Structure 1
Amino acid sequence: MADDHGGFEAVRENLDGNPMWRLVGYATPYWPRLTAGVLTSFLTRFARLVPPIIVGAAIDRVIQGSGEPGLLTTLGLLPPGTIEGSAARLALLQRLVAIAALAYLIRSITRFASRYLLQSTAQKIQRDLRDDGYDHLQRLSMDFFANHQTGGMMAILNSDINRLESFLNTEFRQFIRVVATVGGISVVLFYYSPKLALIALAPVPVIGVASWLFLSWIEPRYTSIRETVARLNTRLENNLSGAAVIKAFDRYDFERDRVAAQSGAYHDEKVAALRIRRGFFAALRLVTGVVFVVALFVAGSDIIAGRPGALSAGSVAVFFLYLRRLYSPMRRVGKSANRYQLAKSSAERVFGLLAQEPTVTAPDDAHAPEQLDGNVSFESVTFAYDDDPVVRDVSLDVPAGSTVGLAGPTGAGKSTLLKLVPRFHDADEGTVRVDGRDVREYDLQALRDHVAVVEQQPYLFSGTVAENVAYGDREVLDGEQAGEEWARKRVREAARAAEADAFVADLPEGYDTQIGERGIKLSGGQRQRVAIARALLNDPEIIVFDEATSDVDTETERRIQESIDRLVEDRTAFVIAHRLSTIRDADRIVVMDDGEVSERGTHADLVAAGGDYADLWYAQADEAAASADD
């Protein structure tokens, strides 16, 4: 059994250039917050430069009592000259403490402000991306969903967007930290000793080149990891959704092996990336450690030899405190490069999805009628999935208000043909018309408001029975959620028409009963009746029943069929039937085989013709008779 990997490798091909630039567009609306966050972040970093200078001044001016001017004296914050006497030193210490306290106060305030502004902005961008991603996903055509797995789409909307938020939340602040810290400390280091500063900054170009090489090595690994995660998510989602089938066929070992294979592939990719990443970080630490030791040796040698420009004891302490602070963000560059590449891989998928164009669109001047007559015609219609035709040159005229039954073997193209009416797909050749107008000229929402589809395996949402029925009409759904009595009345009327009211009344909470994910708390027949009620609620002029009564017992089918017969009297109805008894009274019956119309006519005509329809009719009649005898 082959795995469908979801096809998300192709999503990245929708993009030109670096996708991270598109992230800037999402940040633009929040530029005032970002600007304030950046400025306060810089103030935080500059405030952090003060305490080491205070320590140096305390050592040189208070403890040793020297006249070494130092940076604070140069800035006019301390008096020049030697400090004589304990009282003068104590006063100087008090001034230093006051400066340090002010620096810590500024740092605390600006740190809170910068983190709040930048992190809340990252959250807003995350929200906008997820909203846009979901909205765009809903506007894509059905062929996209047919070719992409749910697990892959969930990975984009969840983990990929979360990774971008994490990157903005963490790495953007780290970028500011690196710029402010390296810039500010470099100035201070050059003030104390240009020679030692040059030694200390020697690793900067090495780290820059190494980071660029690291990105080129790690990028394909992270791209592969994201695709492996999508495949693993798809496998897990499929297995959890199909838990009942796995149990029924006792396929624990088979599915465990498939999950283990995907999990093993993910493990291998992660370990390969880990090897590159940890090797890179170890090399950075080695380089900065060697330079630190060299700078310490040169500074100590100058002091011991009494060379001109040798640092004082306080200045040595300040210099190497700053040097450690300098190397921390420089080593962080490697981690940031790593996370940037992870974020870029996610951005390729997120913005690749947003760049995906729907294949079914409406023109700007699309027709949006308030009501349809319900005439439907297929003119030499051909449609293929992946170059494999499933509908071949079908022509059919269906007058408004008539009922057409479709019969034929599984895979004959019946369902696909009718999906062309609400434009779930567009015909590759030929034209589908509603009321004489090409369906491609209609506004999509307006067209689908007038065409309802009840599928063989209906999808119900987690929620109440009433909410699922109300889903068929926007106004009723809003009214139901607002607790309006008129909305509940409409829901009950639709349920009664679908023969659902009786079983709903027996549920623990009636229409307010929670039915679980995909309606799992209801039987197959109950789910279909809820789906039929949902379709009827909107009072559509055209309705498609795709084997909508296949999962109900014969008596319930008879009652539903009687209700449907009443409800479609003034509508155009298409009924795809597994049991031919449900379409024997149709105005016309169309038999399809291998994508083509093989027979058409009334039930009596087709039985009299003695073709495939007649054979199937008699076979089902014999089965029914044998079942009745039993």
Structure 2
Amino acid sequence: MRRASALPKPPVGQLLAETHTWLTLRTLFPYLWRYRVRVVAALACLILAKLANVGVPLVFKEMIDGLSGSQQALALPALLLLLYGALRFSTALFQELREILFARVTQRAVRAVSLEVFRHLHALSLRFHLERQTGGISRDIERGSRSISSLISYTLYSILPTLVEIGLVLGILFVQYDAGFVAIVAVSLLSYIVFTIRVSNWRIDIRRAVNENDSAANTRAIDSLLNYETVKYFNNEEWEARRYDEQLQKWEEAATRSQKTLAFLNLGQQAIIALGVTAMMWRAASGVVEGRMSIGDLVLVNAFLIQLYIPLNFLGVVYREIRQALTDIERMFTLLQANREVADAPDAHDLPSGPLQVEFSAVDFAYEADRSILRGVDFTIPAGRTVAVVGHSGAGKSTLSRLLYRFYDVCGGAIRLNGHDLRHLRQASLRAAIGIVPQDTVLFNDSIYYNINYGRPAASRDEVIAAARAAQLHDFIESLPQGYETRVGERGLKLSGGEKQRVAIARALLKDPPVLIFDEATSALDSGTERAIQEQLEQAARGRTTLLIAHRLSTVMKADEILVFSEGRIVERGTHGELLAANGEYARMWQLQQQEEGESLPAVS
């Protein structure tokens, strides 16, 4: 398996790998080019806005020169004044039209990329999600989505307009005045840009270190808050605060260094601008004194300088933000590059409808190469029958359900449904045919109704209530002030373990699949509730192919076959009575559990 790559997290100041700028831009470009008509129209508005903007100083120069002449020429400045106002308005008009045209392009691109990343993350294997930290991923997606908008905004509204205006101004200076003005502006701009890019590139590594430490601190905080109860159980609030502060200290050091280098960047930029402006105004003033230039020319040169250097004042910020946006987008696109460990085969087909037989044929499996979990597991669950799997913790019982759902592929052997190898079935079709009540039930932070209805979103309210009744949950829900609209809290923490499992049972029953998996489905229930639900589970399993994974042996007594697992192998198999009569591992487990519950061992018939 090729594991998902991730950017490193170096100490403050240590260099990171260069951002793959062109690769990131090439990846982003198709999302924008889908709206090429709007893009081209927005660029046309940009050029028209800059033409109008450059025309303003030219008209202003003529007005100044007109006012400097005889008083009979007052009609000429009046006309120019109207043109001046029209050009000013045209600049704003085309800028707003550009924004109107491009707004949907930006938002659609952000939406399309975010949705694709979200879908891709759901398509990745369980192994990927077990190895990654949710806080870091969520921050990467958040920053990446926001950075797409920032990148487009800064490029279209800052960089491109400035480049267009620089080209127009240099052309006017070259045609209307001597090449000395062009040389001063060109040298100043080149020096400014080179200095800004070099220093900003140096600062990029520092900024990335800031973000890495920010993500790490955020991940640590989320992980601690998600485990709030565990922190309280062990009185480790100060321990968690110290761990969080350790990461914040790293972030503080990186952020402080970033701020200091920003001050150096700003100071250097202002020095270059000051030298360039001084040289230009000295040359223009000399031309006026010598009679080669008019007062209007001096005003024109000054106006051009202002128009050029005002946006350049923000070039450092814009360049830094663009590079940072590229870094954040690259991190998000890195998630898209993560390979799916389990993918549909090119010739995969849907699972035919109807009753299903489940067959594990000589299955070997290991999460890691040196840690074997299942060894030569071989059994069949006939359609409509129930097979139970029991054994001590770590024997590999729950791994069976993960393999049946195809969260992982087997390392050896095969799993078949009605003779169809799972690897040749579409995963959506396979998972639609299986319902599960997991050992550890995690609920959405929404209403009880939503969490039950999640099993089959198209189900009616009556069907949801019927599923809740079948799971012995309806009366409890009705006793709550908000009934089915009661919110369950983050990961269902407002409900007890038993209540959460009953919600999970109701959800699985609502799905109504041909294959059911009960993975320790009643482990969090008291004996009385377990007996009440057990009857409902047996009724739900009737006519369905059922895999019953259990630690409590009283829940598997009526299974058609019981498999006893030990160290990834089936060591015994048979019915409850047969296994007790064999007086092997199952019988010892049964006797031990009966003693723990204070009940007498029933006679074997």
Q: Corresponding residue for 1:135?
A: 119
Contact 2:144 2:329 in 1 (8 A): yes
1:201 match: secondary structure = helix
* Alpha carbons of structure 1 residues 438 and 7: separation in structure 2 relative to 1, 3 Å: same
1:483-523 CA deviation, whole Å, 9 max, x = no partner?
A: xxxx1121122222221222122222333333333333322
1:494-513 matches, cutoff 5 A: 494-513=467-486
Quickly say closer, same or farther: Cα 1:361–1:517, change in 2 above 3 A: same
State the distance in 2 between where 1:13 and 1:211 align. Answer: 17
Counterpart for residue 13 of structure 2: none
Distance change (3 Å), C-alpha of 1:248 and 1:418: same
> After superposition, where does 1:96-135 map in structure 2 within 5 Å?
96-135=80-119
Aligned residues with identical type, % of pairs: 31
The SS at the match of 2:34 is: helix
* SS of equivalent to 2:404: coil
Q: Secondary structure at the match of 2:440?
A: coil
Q: State yes or no: 1:530 paired with 2:503.
A: yes
- Alpha-carbon separation, structure 2, partners of 1:550 and 1:544: 14
Decide whether the 8 Å contact of 1:549 with 1:557 is kept in 2: yes
Report the 3-state secondary structure (helix = DSSP H, G, I; strand = E; otherwise coil) of the residue aligned with 1:18: helix
Alignment partner, residue 348 of structure 1:
330
The yes-or-no answer on 1:47 pairing with 2:52 is yes
- 1:191-340 pair list within 5 angstroms: 191-214=176-199, 216-304=201-289, 306=290, 309=292, 311-340=293-322
Shift, 1:302, TM fit:
4.2
Deviations 1:282-305 (A, max 9, x none): 32221222122222233334444x
Could you say which residue in structure 1 is the equivalent of 2:458? Answer: 475
Q: CA deviation at 1:555?
A: 0.6
AA at the equivalent of 1:23: L
CA distance in 2, matches of 1:131, 1:356: 16
2:386 and 2:546 in contact (8 A); partners too: yes
Aligned to 1:383: 365
Structure 2 counterparts to residues 480-495 of structure 1, below 5 A: 487-495=460-468
- The residue number in structure 2 matching 1:405 is 388
Pairing 1:117-196 to 2, within 5 Å after superposition: 117-190=101-174, 191-196=176-181
Partner SS state of residue 548, structure 1: coil
Residue of structure 2 equivalent to 1:483: none
Match status 1:25 vs 2:23: no
Deviation for aligned residue 1:256:
0.7
Amino acid at match of 2:80: L
- Provide Cα deviations, 1:31-60, integer angstroms capped at 9, x if missing partner: 111111121122222222233334333332
Q: Write out per-residue CA displacement over residues 413-443 of structure 1, whole angstroms, 9 at most, x where no aligned residue.
A: 1111221112111112221111122111112
* Match among 24, 28, 35 for residue 40 of structure 2: 35
Give 2:382's aligned amino acid.
Answer: P
Query: Does 1:590 pair with 2:588?
Result: no
1:549 CA drift (Å):
1.0
1:8–1:148 CA contact under 8 A, matched in 2: no
Alpha-carbon shift at residue 223 of structure 1 (Å)? 3.9
Tell me the amino acid that sits aligned with residue 381 of structure 1: V
Contact kept? 1:464, 1:514, Cα under 8 Å: yes
- The 3 A distance-change label for structure 1 pair 562 and 16 is farther
Separation in structure 2 between the aligned mates of residue 424 and residue 392 of structure 1, nearest angstrom = 18
Query: Who is 2:603 aligned against?
Result: none
CA distance in 2 between counterparts of 1:21 and 1:269 reads 30
Calculate the TM-score normalised by the size of structure 2: 0.91
The answer for the alignment partner of 2:64 in structure 1 is: 59
Q: Which moved more, 1:254-263 or 1:401-410?
A: 401-410
Q: Alpha-carbon deviation of 1:239?
A: 1.9
Structure 1 window deviating more from structure 2 (444-453 vs 580-589): it is: 580-589
In the other structure, the counterpart of 1:458 is 441
Tell me the equivalent position of 1:441: 424
Letter in 1 for 2:341: T
Letter in 2 for 1:450: A
Q: CA deviation at 1:556?
A: 0.6
Work out the CA distance in 1 between the residues paired with 2:144 and 2:329: 7
The whole-number CA distance in structure 2 between the counterparts of 1:603 and 1:116 is 73
Separation of aligned partners in 2, 1:312 and 1:613:
106
Structure 1 position 560, deviation (Å): 0.8
Letter in 2 for 1:268: E
Inter-CA distance 423–352: structure 2 relative to 1 (3 Å threshold) = same
Q: Name the structure 2 match of 1:90.
A: 74
Query: Helix, strand or coil: the match of 1:600?
Result: strand
CA contact (8 A) 1:15 1:352 kept: no
More deviation, 183-192/215-224: 215-224
Cα gap change, 1:374 to 1:349, in 2 (>3 Å): same
CA contact (8 A) 2:444 2:492 kept: yes
| Aligned residue identity for 1:19 | T
Contact 1:13–1:352 (CA<8 Å) still a contact in 2?
A: no
Could you report, residue by residue, the CA deviation over 1:140-161 in whole angstroms, capped at 9, with x for unpaired residues?
A: 2222212211112212321221
CA distance in 2, matches of 1:392, 1:195: 83
Alpha-carbon distance, 1:405 to partner: 1.9
2:539 counterpart of 1:566? yes
Q: Residue by residue, what CA displacement relative to the aligned partner does 1:264-288 show, whole Å, maximum 9, x if unpaired? A: 2222333334444443333222122
User: What is the Cα deviation at residue 14 of structure 1?
Assistant: 13
Matched residue of 2:458: which SS? helix
Per the alignment, do residues 339 and 404 of structure 1 end up closer, same or farther by CA in structure 2, a change over 3 Å counting? same
Kept in 2: contact 1:402–1:587 (CA 8 A): yes
Q: For the structure 1 residues 266 and 20, does the alpha-carbon distance in structure 2 shift closer, same or farther, using more than 3 Å as the test?
A: farther
Give unpaired runs (5+ residues) of structure 2.
10-16, 601-605
Once structures 1 and 2 are overlaid, which stretch shifts more, 131-140 or 548-557?
131-140
Unaligned runs of 5+ in 1: 1-5, 66-83, 477-486
- Displacement of 1:544: 0.9
Question: Helix, strand or coil: the match of 1:145?
Answer: helix
| Separation (CA, whole Å) in 1 of partners of 2:281 and 2:20 | 50
SS in 2 for 1:205: helix
Rounded to whole Å, the distance in 2 between the matches of 1:224 and 1:454 is 43
Q: Aligned letter for 2:190?
A: P
Deviates more, 1:25-34 or 1:519-528: 519-528
Question: Residue 602 and residue 390 in structure 1: after superposition, are their counterparts in 2 closer, same or farther (change >3 A)?
Answer: same
CA distance in 2, matches of 1:386, 1:206: 55
Tell me how far 1:553 sits from its aligned partner.
1.3
The CA distance in 1 between the partners of 2:119 and 2:518, in whole Å, is: 28
Letter of the 2:7 partner, please give it.
E
Kept after mapping to 1: 8 A contact 2:154/2:322: no
* RMSD of aligned residue pairs (Cα, Å): 2.6
Q: 1:221 to 1:380 in 2, by over 3 A?
A: farther
SS at match of 1:447: helix
Q: In the TM superposition, what whole-angstrom CA distance separates every residue of 1:438-466 from its partner, at most 9, and x where no partner exists? A: 11111211111111111122122233322
Q: Distance in 1 between matches of 2:327 and 2:443?
A: 34
Number of the residue aligned with 1:71: none
Aligned partners of 1:45, 1:421: CA distance in 2, in Å?
A: 63
Report if the CA contact (8 A) 2:386-2:548 is conserved: yes
Shift of residue 196 of structure 1?
Answer: 2.2
Output the CA distance in 2 between the equivalents of 1:391 and 1:401: 25
Q: Are residues 412 and 10 of structure 1, via their aligned partners in 2, closer, same or farther at CA, if it must alter by over 3 Å?
A: farther
- Whole-angstrom distance in 2 between the partners of 1:408 and 1:45: 76
Separation in structure 2 between the aligned mates of residue 431 and residue 90 of structure 1, nearest angstrom: 95
Number of aligned residue pairs: 588
Secondary structure of the 1:189 match is helix
2:548 is the counterpart of 1:575: yes
Kept in 2, the 8 Å contact 1:222–1:341? The answer is: no
Contact 2:563-2:574 at 8 Å conserved across structures: yes
Asked if structure 1 preserves the Cα contact closer than 8 Å seen for 2:381 and 2:546, the reply is no
> Aligned partners of 1:347, 1:320: CA distance in 2, in Å?
39
